[in-house]
Amino acid sequence: MRAGDAVTPDAVARNRAFVERLNRPLTERGERTAVSLFSGILGIEIALGRLGFSTRYAIDLDPVAKAVKDANARHLGTFPYVAGDLRSVEPQEILEVAGLEPGELTILTGGPPCQPFSKSGGRSGVLDERGRLFARYLDYLDVLRPQAFVLENVRGMVSSRGGADFRLILDAFDESGYTLYWKVVDAANYGVPQFRQRLFLVGFRERIRFAFPRETHGSDEDTEQTLFSDVQPFVTAGDAIRDLAGVVAPPPYSGQFAHLLSAIPPGLNYSYYTAERGHPQPIFGWRSKYWYFLLKGHPERPSLTVQAQPGNNTGPFHWDGRRFAVEELRRLQSFPDWLSLDVPYYVAHRLIGNAVPPLLAEAIGASVADALDGRELISKTDYLAARAAATLRVRSGSGAGKGKAKLDAPLAA
């Protein structure tokens, strides 16, 4: 912890370093190409743009996401962005618009709707029509035949319906012939000021050896015990937004329980008002509400996950007892300051909460690019041995938010 450092030179320097990192420009378009499905506000594509990839096509059902892309074309580029249903656009049409032949595309990206696999979405999995859109992703994979693909989703996809959904999805991708690797990662371990666990499924057209990127950030315990001297402390919410204090206009927060928020200490939630926490006049029963109910962020820790569809009492709230402003939410998700979001507050909240943090996507994308450059092949024997040995290990702890994921497995025979 770095208590009491809100105005120290070190705190100011950390803030400046973070802002400079997330505001790096996209590079000149290179030979590597990308096609984006379920694109949203292009968190993955911003990351790939910094790595020299040229996005040739993007599609998302949400017309507001397309409007955001169009408003930011000066930074993002002028590639086609279609606001439409993926099921109504044929893969061959994408190849024609993108000016590509089958097999020429470097990387296909996308995160099918996560709601069917999340707790807030009821975890209906593939029983929900949206949960079956991964099959449409496979249609594009079969026709475009990219060198690699990256699919992102919530951690809950792994355990949806007792793991049955993930096994079904893996079996389907297994039939594509791609060499598959998967991992649940926490964005905070890659310099994002937010604990946000997400599943990444990465595939290669050839049997290429691949390793997910080494974690670059960790808790105080991690930085002391690691063998790597360059592991840095987590980027905290305070590190990310310190320079915005006093210059943002957060929306008003009102409601039945809004008056309770100011007294809750940073890092706590409604449980502050329970007998178990020692409150002299308890208002709520212990564990009677969901975790994010009146949850207040802490300036000396990464934020907990920014929700796409927050209820009136759903946090994380700012430690000053208010909602985070759009500019602050954008920082917590590691989007650059130049990304204009000239839309109503809760629309911007949804777009940000649904997005892949660019700094996390950049780490994944860089590892994919390195694997394609190295083209080191893995033997079938080694591959199957690694697959058989793969396990899910989640370590909870003071520096790990709701649990730190350690999940890494190749998955194709």
**The two three-digit tokens of residue 284, written as one number:** 């709520």
Q: How far apart, in whole angstroms, are the C-alpha atoms of residue 98 and residue 136?
A: 19
B/e letters for 55-70, b = 16+ CB within 10 Å, e = fewer, are bbbbbbbbebbbebbe
**pLDDT higher than 70, residue 101:** yes
Q: Which has the closest alpha carbon to 333: 321, 316, 320, 319?
A: 316
Average pLDDT of 62-74?
97
pLDDT of residue 226: 56
Share of the chain above pLDDT 70, in %: 84
Task: For 156-172, give the DSSP string.
Answer: HHHHGGGGHHHHHHHHH
Tens of pLDDT, residue by residue over 385-395, are 877 766 544 33
- Residue 47 corresponds to which tokens in the numbers above? 């990351």
d(CA 110, CA 151): 5
> Of the ranges 118-127, 201-210, 314-323, which one carries the lowest mean pLDDT score?
118-127
How does residue 314 score in pLDDT terms, banded at 50, 70 and 90? Answer: very high
For the record, the structure tokens of 103 come out as 């097999």
**So what's the pLDDT on residue 394?**
34
**Would you state the structure tokens that stand for residue 356, as one six-digit string?**
């892949």
The Cβ of residue 205 has, within 10 Å, a number of other Cβ atoms equal to: 17
- When pLDDT is cut at 50, 70 and 90, the band that residue 105 belongs to is very high
How far apart CA 82 and CA 130 sit, in angstroms, is: 19
What Cα–Cα distance (Å) separates residue 163 from each residue in 120, 160, 267, 404, 406? 18, 5, 32, 19, 17
User: Residue 38, SS3?
Assistant: coil
Report whether pLDDT(128) > 60: no
Does 270 have pLDDT greater than 70?
A: yes
Residue 172 — very low, low, confident or very high, per pLDDT cuts 50/70/90? confident
Average pLDDT, the chain: 87
pLDDT of residue 4: 43
Q: Encode pLDDT of 322-365 as tens digits.
A: 999 999 999 999 999 999 999 999 999 999 999 999 999 999 99
pLDDT at 400: 42
Sort residue 275 into left (φ over 0), alpha (ψ -120 to 50) or beta: alpha
Q: How many CB atoms lie within 10 A of CB 352?
A: 25
Spacing of C-alpha 166 from chain mean position:
19
Domains and CATH numbers, the chain: 24-231+357-410 (3.40.50.150)
- As a whole-number percent, the residues of the chain with pLDDT over 90 amount to 70
Per-residue pLDDT, averaged over 193-215, amounts to 95
Provide the pLDDT confidence category of residue 171 given band limits of 50, 70 and 90.
Answer: confident
- Would you say residue 130 has pLDDT above 50? no
Active-site pick, 22, 105, 107, 114 = 114
310 is catalytic: no
Q: How confident is the model at residue 170 (pLDDT cuts 50, 70, 90)?
A: confident
Query: What confidence score (pLDDT) does residue 107 get?
Result: 98
* pLDDT for the residue 397: 34
* 108/386: higher pLDDT: 108
- Find, among 266, 253, 241, the residue nearest to 328 by Cα: 241
Q: How far is CA 310 from the centre of its chain?
A: 17
